[in-house]
Chain A
């Protein structure tokens, strides 16, 4: 009897829950026909922007696009590291979102899993997008989405610190002159450079400009060029030009270090521009230099708008309208301004630079940037990247020499 009443309580709880859900969707979907969760009038959009709440411009933009397409939008925002797992799980349960906005290196993984439709199927127009940006969403000759914005890495520098140390920023053209500048800064009692070498994708992302700048390729992690790039970082740490904490720094942490005003340089992304204005000192931006001059290619960051595979293929037409709306010129401009990103099309980029000249170096950097999963690396990239950040970590922490660390990494990839 006792157990019966408890069981009934459980059932009641479950029923209540069900009722809550059904009523929520029922009163939510004013234009909807049925009371089911997935009715034809409600479209689900997943994005990695939890920082934007219901009253944000982004949420309003989504609703606006929904109204334009004649449907109701149900938005869910996930922490970006959560989103790919959720997307895989939802696809496994055959319950994917209608429009999915994901970090670009994840696109090839989701495509490999068969979660995403190609632009051939969904008829998204990607003709205006810069080809180097679109490449991150391509694999096996197919395109799986279109970028909503792009960002990349460059060096922020603190003018006050450099002046104090007597460094002329124009003299910094290659690794040698950069290291010389760091030495001067250290002698002046300030701190050199901070970056993020953490044991996650962020660490690889930050190492890549140096890696590529040395002329190394992701298909050969133990090349002499790769070793020289890692040795550069290791050397900075050993000489105290870079703090030991970089090993554990996220890009936010490394930015906070730079924001303290003690550091001359910080390798960080486009998205920090707004924070740089608030930093309270004069700053400048410099592309990451290559080993012997010129600009190193930096990796592209930023998200893609994709349309996941649905059981009900009739939904694609509306999903396509939503995705097209989100990536229309005006909306790209608004969104990328909010996110502090560079737009993926030249047309919008020009407009961004016209409004804000500070963006000029970033637009150039994005144009020179390279997708991590480009060169048809696709799903090979995640494995390579993991070995790369491990090598960086073991070398910088002193447990292996740069050469040994990279040799081990290369053999682990195979």
Chain B
């Protein structure tokens, strides 16, 4: 509903059911019967969340607040140590680089995934031969289990027998140690992750584009707006809600990306591509002797980070709804 305010003075043909451009949201009064109905609709998902997410989440929090050894993990008598695990993690020399890599990885991936996804969505939103088929093909990377796609990337980026270096040498550029040099490893995993994230952005944004009523473009075209102007004045503003959710979800998914990095570089060499997600896994599972407590603590820090962004999102959304 918020986006109605984003179409300034360009009300299209007055159409009673003109999809997006309509009156402000219904009154903020909340009748009780509607409340009941609302929660009846929400009940299944709430129950579902409580059943299937509460336990793992509780477990992760519990793990992070106790001093678990493998023995006490099995026997279930780990002493409660409060925030000790968090302190351990904060003092760890890996903390600062991991934080930095997480921020860089997430920001760069988000920007590129969204920009490329949007460009492709706009491109495929036009009618030309094969457009539907090609768009569908863009989803093929998603059919592959991550273990396969990430392995393929590490195959292609191999320093000695990788196809990327072979192509580079064909155009006269020396080999790059994509995965084994501390200065390139983060770049490599970012490239692979952008590749994996583009289809998601493309599909969601494309669906968003489809919901924009044609009449708006017709009106804009009548006003003499060129394609560029139509994009910035019509498409982009109307895509705001879908863009926001795409970016937010992208953020959440990117923050917790671990398989790709783990398979390609194991967070290395020398922690040069370690993010919070891989670090958490490294602590909890990457070793013969798991450190469950600190591993869970790092995982929870990630949850908190996502919650902060979620809070910002909810705030902004509410502000827009009220305005």
Contact = CB atoms under 8 A, between A and B. Distances in A.
A184 interface: no
Contact of B267 (A91, A199, A399): A199
B79 interface: no
B269 interface: yes
B76 A248 contact: no
B270 interface: yes
A409 B95 CA distance: 17
A84 interface: yes
Nearest to A412: B93
Interface in A104-121: 105-106, 109-110, 112-115
Among B70, B74, B160, B272, the most chain A Cβ lie within 10 Å of the Cβ of B74
A328 interface: no
B73 A88 contact: yes
B77 to A, nearest CB: 11
Question: Range of interface residues on chain A?
Answer: 35 or more
A200 B286 contact: yes
A33 to B, nearest CB: 29
Interface in A69-90: 84-85, 88
B74 A245 contact: no
B160 A113 contact: no
A386 B284 CA distance: 13
A257 B161 CA distance: 9
Given A385-B288, A397-B182, A91 B269 contact: no
B160 A257 contact: yes
A382 B43 CA distance: 47
Interface stretch (A3-11, A163-171, A219-227): A3-11
A7 B180 contact: no
Contact of A382 (B69, B154, B181, B289): B289
B63 to A, nearest CB: 12
B74 A7 contact: no
Q: What is the predominant secondary structure among interface residues of chain A facing chain B?
A: helix
A394 interface: yes
Contacts of B75: 114
Contacts of A383: 287, 289
A113 B161 CA distance: 43
A393 B41 contact: no
A7 B42 CA distance: 12
Among B43, B69, B71, B160, the most chain A Cβ lie within 10 Å of the Cβ of B160
A245 B270 contact: no
Contacts of B158: 245, 248
B289 A247 contact: no
A244 interface: yes
A10 to B, nearest CB: 7
A212 interface: no
A244 B177 contact: yes
Contacts of B47: 7, 10
B208 interface: no
Among B71, B265, B289, the most chain A Cβ lie within 10 Å of the Cβ of B289
Given A92-B76, A248-B265, A113 B70 contact: yes
Nearest to B177: A244
B268 interface: yes
A396 interface: yes
B44 A247 contact: no
Interface in B257-311: 265-272, 285-290
A355 interface: no
Contacts of B48: 10
Contact of A105 (B43, B272, B288): B288
Contacts of A62: none
B40 interface: yes
A388 to B, nearest CB: 12
B270 A399 contact: yes
Interface in B47-77: 47-48, 69-71, 73-76
A198 B264 CA distance: 11
A92 B179 CA distance: 38
13 contacts: A7-B43, A85-B285, A112-B70, A114-B74, A198-B266, A257-B161, A260-B161, A382-B289, A383-B289, A396-B180, A397-B181, A399-B269, A400-B270
Given A88-B290, A390-B271, 17 more contacts: A10-B47, A88-B74, A91-B74, A105-B288, A113-B69, A244-B180, A245-B161, A245-B180, A248-B154, A248-B265, A379-B289, A382-B288, A396-B180, A397-B269, A397-B270, A399-B182, A399-B269
Interface of A: 1-3, 6-7, 10, 84-85, 88, 91-92, 105-106, 109-110, 112-115, 198-201, 243-245, 247-248, 257, 260, 379, 381-383, 385-386, 390, 393-394, 396-400
